Amino acid sequence: MREISFRDALREAMSDEMRRDNRVFLIGEEVAQYDGAYKVSKGMLDEFGPKRVIDTPISESGFAGLGIGAAMMGLRPIVEFMSWSFSLVAADPILNNAPKMLYMSGGQFGCPIVFRGNDGAGGQLGSTHSWCVESMYANVPGLKIIIPSTPYSAKGLLTQAIQDDDPVFCLESERMLSMTGDVPEESYTIPIGTADIVRTGSDCTIVSFGRPVHFCLEAAEALAREGIDCEVIDGRSIKPLDIDTFAASVRKTNYCVVVDQSWSFASVGSEVAAELHRVCFDDLDNHVHRVHSDDVPAPYASNLEQEMLPNARKICEAVRSVTYNA
């Protein structure tokens, strides 16, 4: 199998679906003539033309609303936010319109649209450009949220998202765009709501999503040298959550740590922990421990930003605490 980058995997997913279905188009800031702010859409304007790869003004609310209207009329837009931090400007259309159309129309029409872009700390972008939006947006019924952690999951999840009849938010990480991995040339899908066990183990379950999955794998290797064998699960989807896969692992290991890059209060990690306490109460030998970003705005300084985020050291400390203090 050939090895390609995360950004190339995203481009392949979009291009494959645009070739398959002429209702699919891409719209956003700098997606066309500039080949994308992060070069994710490089070459797509040349192949598909300016009617299907469309540059917009710096007006997130405007082009998000345009995409939602197009989806309601039967097209299948992909709307790129340069950063999910900027999606806050478009909160009304993406949260108050797109997820509610199917319900409010009595099932007569929905809103098959994908919103995608960079989520979380991108590397010294400051507090206002480093939002992790998953805990806020996952609270809204009627939409789905995917968060790929590898080039393979990026292509498979985004392909499924474009084909989905519901609004899907795809949360990517700028820090992973150059990461490479094995990706099939042919088109394929990964069902939304299915987690992946990326490392098997017997002593403690670690559940995470997106970029922090790699911190979990780093921590698991360090803990293995101490004799603690961790199972690491990549959730891949935030809404819906694959609680069944998480629970099956916890019933085997009896311990669990959830790693979530968003802040701890009312977070995705909180929901995972609550559900595991509900369905695995008799299997857990300790409480589910959570590792989050520190409860501060994202710092600009590189060393402080890394300390604020979940990292391998924090994850190791959490696993030792949960397993040793049972």
Tens of pLDDT, residue by residue, the chain (326 residues)? 899 999 999 999 999 999 999 999 999 999 999 999 999 999 999 999 999 999 999 999 999 999 999 999 999 999 999 999 999 999 999 999 999 999 999 999 999 999 999 999 878 888 989 999 999 999 999 999 999 999 999 999 999 999 999 999 999 999 999 999 999 999 999 999 999 999 999 999 999 999 999 999 999 999 999 999 999 999 999 999 999 999 999 999 999 999 999 999 999 999 999 999 999 999 999 999 999 999 999 999 999 999 999 999 999 999 999 998 54
Q: Can 3-182 and 196-324 be said to share one CATH topology?
A: yes
129 is catalytic: yes
For the domain 196-324, what is the CATH code? 3.40.50.920
pLDDT at 121: 84
**Nearest by Cα to 10 from 178, 164, 138, 166:** 178
Q: How far is CA 110 from the centre of its chain?
A: 23
Sign of the torsion angle spanned by Cα atoms 168, 174, 176, 177 = positive
Q: Rounded to whole angstroms, how far apart are CA atoms 15 and 194?
A: 24
Q: How far is 176 from 238, CA to CA, in rounded Å? A: 18
pTM recorded for the entire structure: 0.96
Ramachandran angles phi, psi of 230, nearest 5°: -100, 140
Residue spans of the domains in the chain: they are 3-182, 196-324
Q: Where does the chain have alpha helices with state H? A: 6-20, 44-48, 60-72, 91, 101-104, 134-137, 151-163, 212-224, 243-253, 268-279, 302-308, 312-324
Considering the candidates 29, 60, 174, 305, report the single residue annotated as catalytic. 60
Residue 38 to residue 17: CA distance in whole angstroms: 20
Task: Check residue 122 and give its pLDDT.
Answer: 76
Choose, from 80, 129, 172, 214, the residue flagged as catalytic: 129
pLDDT score of 324: 86
Query: Residue 326: what pLDDT?
Result: 45
Topology of the domain covering 3-182: Rossmann fold (3.40.50)
Task: Write down the pLDDT at residue 123.
Answer: 81
Report the SS3 class of residue 257: strand
